[in-house]
Structures are given as C-alpha cells and as structure tokens.
Amino acid sequence: MKDYAKSLRDRIAQGGVVAVPGAPDVLTARLIAQCGFEAVYMTGLGATASRLGTPDLGLLSQTEMADQARSMAAVAGVPVIADADTGYGGPLNLRRVVEDYARAGIAAFHVEDQQMPKRCGQLSGARLVTPREAEARLRAAVAARDASGHGMLVIGRTDALGVDGMNAALERARRYADTGVDLVFIDGIQTVEQVEKVAEGLAGPKVVSIVDGTDAARLGLDEISRMGFTLCLYALTTLLAGLSAQAAALAHLRETGGLRTNPDGFDYARFSGLVDLAGHQAFAHEFET
C-alpha cells in the first residue's frame, strides 16, 4: 500500500497551500483525484448526507466512518484527510478510530473539541469540552498515532469560533498546537475578516475550511496561500454542485418529458472511464472460461 501520509507530508514540505475538495462518497473522491487535486477530504457532513440523508448532527457511528474511510482510501489514489469528529467516546474509543484509520491508509485526520453528540461546525449550538479535556483528547490521538506505527498527520480542531468568539478560538488553537498535533484548525469561518484574523493570530501549520456561499468564499487560493495556510478544505463544493446539477436535470425531465443535453457533462462513456470499466472487463475476460 502506498504511504499516503508520507506523500502528504512531502507535499506540505514543498510549501504553499494544498487545495482539498470534500467528497461525500467514494465516486466523488475518485473524480477529485482524476481532476488533478492532490488530496481528498472525507467530510463528516458529506458522509452523513450520502449514507443517511440527514444533517451532520453526530448520527454516524465510528464504525460507519471507518468504513467510509476504508472505501475512500482504497480508490482515491491520492491522500485522504478524514474527519474523526470527537473520537466517538473516551480515549480507548479514540485509539480505535486511529487504528482503523491507520489500517485504511488515511493520510491525516482531525479531532474536534465538541461534546457528544457533535454537530456541523457551521451550525450554532455546539457545546464544547473544556480546553484541558480537549488537550487530553489530542494527546491521546497523537499517542495512538505513534503507537500505530503510521505517519498520519493529526489535526487539532476547535469549534470555539461560533461559541465563544475569535479570541477564544485562537487561544484554544494555540494550546492545541502544544499537544504534539501536526496542524491546527479553527472551523466555522464565514468571513474574509475571520480568515485574516486566523492567519495573523495563529503561527505554524494551519487549516482553513472555505464553505460555498459565505463571504470567505470570495478568497482565491493564491490569497489563502499568501496568508500562510497549509491546507484549504472545500468541504461542501462537490456535494452542493452535484445536488444542483441533479436538481436541474430532474426538473428538466419533469417539465419537458425529455433529457437535458450537456455536451460538456458526463455521459455513459465518460462515466465508464471514471470507474475504469475497460480495465475491469479486461481482467475478467483474461480469466473467464
């Protein structure tokens, strides 16, 4: 198995920001890689939406997330950065998550400081554990990673921005950086000003998540790179774009009774290329009697 954690570390060492689109499912992860992106984000919101059709309110279990991670890492062909939520319980639960992600070949994962059940970082009403408890959680994640013998990057995430404001979020992120994690991540950013404040107030390797439709989405990747961010997650871009395209095609079919033509879109031939139909058929034909 290719060491995708090392690949991601090597890429980060080259400098500049890495754009990481989110994938709600395995097929989208493969598409992201084929479109030339260097990594894929296994978003918990996308996984919950694709598997359950529900909001991201802590409904997926640890085993369901690990299953999603295994499937995605097996086909992506590039490093996968996975959401590990709160660790799904105590230190032993978190250790199990880390071990499962290591076996799956995940390149990096983030652990957040919400109480269980957690909720999406863009939603209000999150409840946080104390900074001390969050630090212990992150130290456990680092220790479990080290014990696994796997070089996964550990990302310490705080959701304090929407609960206690920017200063509290920055203070937590600075404390988390001292636990041994590789990067820190303030989630819930919605404005350009917030991105700038995180860039100015947080030294070292850091992650930003840009959500479609927010004021922060006005920022280009070059600007984000100049601000010193290491990873830029686009968690919802493919999910929202896919739903928009599907809704438009279905509305056209319902209203006209005919199929919508899009010469630049996917047809069956292009889909077959994405899933490597020819390769699968060649292997089967070689050994079929």
**Residues labelled as active-site residues:** 120
DSSP string for residues in 160-216: -HHHH-HHHHHHHHHHHHTTT-SEEEE----SHHHHHHHHHH--SSEEEE--TTSGG
Two tokens at 101?
């992600």
Q: Bridge partners of 234?
A: 21
Rounded distance between C-alpha atoms, residue 119 and residue 56, angstroms: 6
Pairing verdict, β 206-209 and 80-83:
unpaired
CA 246 to chain centre: 23
Rounded distance between C-alpha atoms, residue 108 and residue 112, angstroms: 14
**Ramachandran class of 2: left when φ > 0, alpha when ψ lies in -120 to 50, beta otherwise:** beta
- For the beta carbon of residue 167, count every other beta carbon within 10 angstroms: 12
